[in-house]
Amino acid sequence: MSPYIVYFNNIHSILRYFLLIFTLIVVVQSLMGMLGKKEFAKTNRKMALFMMISCDLQLLAGLAVYYFNGHILMLKKGMAFETHASRFYTIEHPIGMILAIVLVHMGYNVTKKIIDSAPKFKRLFWFSFIALVIFIAQTPWPGKKDVGRPLFPSMSSVSTTTTAASKG
């Protein structure tokens, strides 16, 4: 296992909170704008931009974890479906998160369009709300069977499941 995995795991674990906070703020702002029939402001667009940036940083850290943790090797050797944990970290988690990040990008693109505020808030709300649901569902929270991780990473050790790829 690569020595970089500790750093990328910790970065990936900490960034999830920024991603969740920005996404929650965008969902609440969009809902309030939609229900309150407010004008779409520059601050709304900036918050959606921060949400998108945090998603992109999380994706980059996640791709590094995916590479250094040996998940690509597991896919090549056909070991991705051997256990629930390997299937989750090799297939389910990455696909779910990439789908959610695509939704975030679609939502941000709506903020750049020259349309009325009501449809802009509505589209941004639904894109970011569905992304938030996927983020929450695909995060390995503590207590999640076989795949749970601690809320905060230990800076001195890796809190990842041992993969068959790193054994062999």
Rounded to the nearest 10 degrees, the angle between the axes of helix 93-112 and helix 117-138 is 170
Domain around 75: 4-167
How many helices (H) and strands (E) the chain has is answered by 7, 0
pLDDT at 1 (0 to 100): 62
Summarize pLDDT for 38-97 with one digit per residue, the tens: 999 999 999 999 999 999 999 999 999 888 887 888 887 887 788 888 888 888 999 999
Roughly how many angstroms between the first and final C-alpha of the chain, as a whole number?
11
Q: What is the pLDDT of residue 80?
A: 78
The count of domains in the chain is 1
Summarize pLDDT for 84-97 with one digit per residue, the tens. 888 888 889 999 99
d(CA 111, CA 101): 16
Query: How much is the pTM?
Result: 0.84
What DSSP line would sit under 87-125, residue for residue? HIIIIIHHHHHHHHHHHHHHHHHHHHS---HHHHHHHHH
